[in-house]
Amino acid sequence: MEMELRHVRYFITLAEELHFGRAANRLHIAQPPLSRQIQKLEEEIDVRLFDRTKRNVKLTNAGKVFLEKAYQILDQVEQARVITQMTSKGEHGGLTVGFTGTSEGVIKIIRKFKEEYPLVGLILHKMGKADQIRALHEKRIDVGFVASPVISDQLHVRSLGEIPFMAVLPETHPLTSKKSPLYIHDLAEESFVMTPKTAGVDYYNTFIKICHQSGFTPKITIHAHDVQTIIALVSSGIGVSLVNSKFPLKGAVYRKLEDVTITMERAVVWRRGEKSDVLQNFLNVLDSINLPENE
């Protein structure tokens, strides 16, 4: 037996339900055929994916790994379906876009692009800078939004301007009501919520540099891998942070830092020699709009 997409879907459904009867109902098949197909799948890959008893069905450790890969398989098939449909209808194909941080600026670009090219298929991937560069090299995305600098002779890099850092504080924090200017050293004794270095080297190093220039080493008590989570944690009163992306959330207050002049440059990147009309149209739309100062 060769593995088929239906076997992957059967596996995912059973992994989600952990009950043969419920899984069979979702799949609109009888329970015995489902059991046989799962057994054949395990025989095909020579791995036990489920531990079964009369009362319980549980994923094995191997099954958990296979589930993650199975989701990726179906995502890739869906992406292929969307792009192929767009191309077959003569709608200039599709475009896969990578972005970091919050999506405020990207949403503005996407909205404008869809107004002009409503039938083009778009797939958005939130991913770190290093992942985007690798994905561009491997042709898994078509264009990316990252922090500069970008060192690659295989890519075009177009600057989108500088973005400043600002403080984000819980609305209950005493500094939110401070009438005088806010300085970075005002936060020297605070607990910070920040992304780990592995999530974005440039962002992390710039944050540390800002603090060191003011004479202190930040106390980072919680790491979170994306800006939205950081701001949500700050809004709950857990700590403060420095960000260069706004994400409106009740309980979070943004304040300008008077003595922070270090900025990060944002850029759009794409492969050299790329002749896609869709990509060129996307870049033309990008040229026609003004991005918000803080993306």
Domains, the chain, ranges and CATH?
5-76 (1.10.10.10), 92-161+265-287 (3.40.190.10), 166-261 (3.40.190.10)
Task: Note the pLDDT of residue 69.
Answer: 92
Region 240-264 average pLDDT: 88
For residue 267, give the nearest of 111, 138, 99 by alpha carbon. Answer: 99
Region 257-277 average pLDDT: 89
For residue 282, give the nearest of 132, 106, 138 by alpha carbon. Answer: 106
Whether the pLDDT of residue 265 is over 50: the answer is yes
Q: Report the range of poorest mean pLDDT among 49-63, 84-98, 205-219.
A: 84-98
> 68-106 in b/e burial notation, b at 16+ Cβ within 10 A?
eebeeeeeeeebeeebeebeeeeebbbbbbbbbbbbebb
Whether the pLDDT of residue 295 is over 50: the answer is no
Whether the pLDDT of residue 83 is over 80: the answer is no
> Do 85 and 47 contact (CB within 8 A), yes or no?
no
Q: What is the pTM of this model?
A: 0.60
Task: Note the pLDDT of residue 162.
Answer: 85
Fill in the DSSP letter of residue 184.
G
Q: ω before 149 within 30° of 0 (cis)?
A: yes
For residue 138, give the nearest of 152, 117, 118, 122 by alpha carbon. Answer: 152
Supply the angle between the helices 61-88 and 5-17 in degrees, to the nearest 10: 130
Give residue-wise pLDDT tens across range 61-74: 999 999 999 999 99
CA distance 235 to 172: 9
Task: Note the pLDDT of residue 219.
Answer: 95
Give residue-wise pLDDT tens across range 95-144: 999 988 655 678 888 999 998 888 788 999 888 888 899 999 999 999 99
DSSP E strands in the chain: the ranges are 50-52, 57-59, 94-99, 121-126, 143-147, 155-164, 166-170, 191-194, 219-223, 241-243, 252-256, 263-271
Task: Note the pLDDT of residue 272.
Answer: 95
Structure tokens at 229: 């989570």
Compute, in degrees rounded to 10, the torsion defined by CA atoms 203, 206, 207, 213.
180
In single-letter form, the type of residue at position 205 comes to N
Give residue-wise pLDDT tens across range 141-194: 999 998 888 889 999 999 888 888 999 999 999 999 878 899 999 999 999 999
